[in-house]
Amino acid sequence: QVQLVESGGGVVQPGRSLRLSCAASGFTFSTYGMHWVRQAPGKGLEWVTFISYDGSSEYYADSVKGRFTVSRDNSQNTLYLQMNSLRAGDTAVYYCAKDRADGYKTSHFWGQGTLVTVSS
Amino acid sequence: SYDLTQPPSLSVSPGQTARITCSGDRLGAKNACWYQQRPGQSPVLIIYQDSRRSSGIPERFSGSNSGNTATLTISGTEAVDEADYYCQVWDTATAHVVFGGGTKLTVL
């Protein structure tokens, strides 16, 4: 069955960097686009970024563009999110999600999330 | 930027029909999907392409999308349906995924 396991979250000071990972299994990772979506404590869902199946296309929310970079290693079935210049407003649970591949950027399956806390 | 508006909350009694709306400019021209998020859990896709139920989702969940409004309908609402519900679209003009603010459904 599809499994997505995020890791790399933790407490980080403002201005510092952090890299999240998402280990995928149970499906052919190299044929699906992937999303990162975040949820601040007590708030709604906020899309962060999408990467195509082969990494040739990337899209970012305005709030993270220029600071965050999505990447993937299809040989390792792993998705990454490099987060630089972190701010307090980036504090959230970060979910990776498998795209449904229907052309409408639907997040078909979600991981359990990893918490990132940006605080001094 | 493209915006989706949902009512913050909705309350229904068990067995009643719950209708959760999602409004956006010419939303009917886009493909909407819906997610359910129970407390402390990850979101789950329940409806995609406006009205298609995701695998394993009960038949009491249905969706529609026309004009400026997409609607998630839960017929015969059960206590287990108490959750937050989010609509979402892909805005091709901005190449952004857009979520609605979410609706907290209370079944009492």
The answer to whether A96 touches A111, Cβ cutoff 8 Å, is yes
CA-based nearest residue in chain A for residue B55: A108
pLDDT beyond 90 at B65: yes
Average pLDDT of chain B, as a whole number: 97
CB contact under 8 A, A104 and B33: yes
pLDDT digits (tens, 9 = 90+) for A74-108: 999 999 999 999 999 999 999 999 999 888 999 99
pLDDT score, position A102: 86
Confidence of residue A117 (pLDDT cuts 50, 70, 90): very high
Record the tokens describing residue B56, joined without a space: 């394993």
| A33 has a chain B CB within 8 A of its CB | no
pLDDT score, position B33: 98
| Average pLDDT for B89-108 | 97
Average pLDDT of chain A, as a whole number: 97
Beta strands in A45-113 (DSSP E): 45-51, 58-60, 68-73, 78-83, 92-99, 107-110
| Average pLDDT for B7-19 | 98
| B89 has a chain A CB within 8 A of its CB | yes
Beta strands in chain B (DSSP E): 9-12, 18-23, 33-37, 44-48, 52-53, 61-66, 69-74, 83-91, 96-99, 103-107
Whole-number Å distance between alpha carbons of A55 and A103: 16
Contact list in B for residue A110 (CB cut-off 8 A) is 42-44
- Residue A68: exposed, middle, or buried by beta-carbon count in 10 A (0-12, 13-18, 19+)? buried
Query: Between A and B, how many residue pairs show a Cβ–Cβ distance under 8 A?
Result: 65
Residue A60 burial (CB count, 10 A): 20
**Closest-CA distance of chain A to residue B8, Å:** 10
The answer to whether B102 touches B83, Cβ cutoff 8 Å, is no
pLDDT beyond 90 at B96: yes
CB contact under 8 A, B45 and A102: no
What percent of chain A lies above the pLDDT cut of 90? 97
Amino acid letter for position B34: W
pLDDT score, position A103: 86
Helix (H, G, I), strand (E, B) or coil at A29: helix
Contact list in B for residue A108 (CB cut-off 8 A) is 45, 48, 54
Confidence of residue A8 (pLDDT cuts 50, 70, 90): very high
CB contact under 8 A, B45 and A108: yes
| B85 has a chain A CB within 8 A of its CB | no
Contact list in A for residue B1 (CB cut-off 8 A) is 62
| B5 has a chain A CB within 8 A of its CB | no
Give the CA diameter of chain B.
Answer: 41
Return the sign of the alpha-carbon dihedral for residues A116, A117, B3, B7.
Answer: positive
pLDDT score, position A27: 97
Q: Residues of B numbered 31-60 whose beta carbons fall under 8 angstroms of chain A's beta carbons: which are they?
A: 31, 33, 35, 37, 42-45, 48-49, 54
| B9 has a chain A CB within 8 A of its CB | no
pLDDT digits (tens, 9 = 90+) for A16-56: 999 999 999 999 999 999 999 999 999 999 999 999 999 99
